[in-house]
Structure 1
Amino acid sequence: MATAVEQPQDRSQPATPFERIGGHTVLRRITDRFYDLMEQDPAYAELRAMHAADLASMRESLPAFLAGWAGGPRDWFEANPGKCMMSMHAPFPISRQTAGQWAEAMRRAVQDAAPEDTEIAEAFIDVLTRMALGMARG
């Protein structure tokens, strides 16, 4: 019986952050944990109050955004031409407190999802925290 020989992947290009974090599977785990925390932990009540009652569409949208943002498939960006996180959140009264709640919930979600590549997980937390805090006004 012949066995398939696994061909080495072409690594002339470095792995993208999307690949390093664990692709769609891990981004979905992060997103689900993030929204679960927002819905269940009273520490994020003010943040939760800023969102729609039904988070289903956001649970679908965020992992797709993160995938494209991290160098993976750009489906979200193709479906939302000309949009970015800053412009989409401009209408909301984001304070330092709610931005901090978002960043803390995301930090916990990434850590709980436990990506194998801890270096890229910490980089995600750092960049997403800076992005969240950058949206705060006042």
Structure 2
Amino acid sequence: MQATEQPVLTPYQRIGGDTVIRKLVDRFYELMDELPETYAARKIHPADLTESGNKLFDYLSGWLGGPQRYVEKHGHPMLRRRHLPYAIGPDERDQWLLCMQMALADTVTDEALRTALFAQFVQLGEHMRNRPEATPMRQPGGR
């Protein structure tokens, strides 16, 4: 008797496909709008988050192994290059990650997947940073 192999599911399938990705994106931007401590990250985005949400949904769909909607609509993501006009330092990165961590906690029931995805988001957030670490303030009269 031969054991049947279980199909390997993509993260897109494991997360729940479009339905859960849309919930994740919607919750992510709700949090960014609601949390005062994410002001620096929020101000990088336009007042109306609809297009940002649609682009993130399209990107995450492909990034997680589902339909490559972002590539079909906009070409290669080139995320860092597309974000260079915006000042993304440690604060903006950490605020973006806070929203993503909370949105994952609210929408992704598979704890192992949630943990693995957040680890990938941490790497992505660091990759997007284009401003250095904050420099310590100089003491008055110091050189």
Question: 2:123 aligned with 1:130, yes or no?
Answer: yes
Structure 2: unaligned runs, 5 residues or longer: 133-143
Equivalent residue for 2:79?
Answer: 85
Identity among equivalent pairs (%): 32
Equivalent residue for 1:99?
Answer: 93
**1:29 Cα deviation after fit:** 0.8
Question: Which of 28, 36, 41 pairs up with 2:22?
Answer: 28
Equivalent residue for 1:45?
Answer: 39
Structure 1: unaligned runs, 5 residues or longer: 1-10
Structure with higher Rg: it is 2
Scaled by the length of structure 2, the TM-score of the pair is 0.83
Runs of 4+ in 1 over 2 A off after TM superposition: none
Q: Secondary structure at the match of 1:76?
A: helix
Equivalent residue for 1:18?
Answer: 12
**1:12 Cα deviation after fit:** 6.1
Counterparts of 1:24 and 1:37 in 2: how far apart (Å)? 20
Equivalent residue for 1:121?
Answer: 114
Counterparts of 1:30 and 1:119 in 2: how far apart (Å)? 16
Q: Secondary structure at the match of 2:85?
A: coil
**1:82 Cα deviation after fit:** 2.7
Counterparts of 1:105 and 1:19 in 2: how far apart (Å)? 23
Q: How many residues align?
A: 128
**1:134 Cα deviation after fit:** 2.0
Equivalent residue for 1:63?
Answer: 57
**1:39 Cα deviation after fit:** 0.6
Scaled by the length of structure 1, the TM-score of the pair is 0.86
Counterparts of 1:116 and 1:50 in 2: how far apart (Å)? 30
Root-mean-square deviation over aligned CA pairs: 1.6
Q: Secondary structure at the match of 2:22?
A: helix
Counterparts of 2:88 and 2:112 in 1: how far apart (Å)? 29
Counterparts of 2:79 and 2:6 in 1: how far apart (Å)? 31
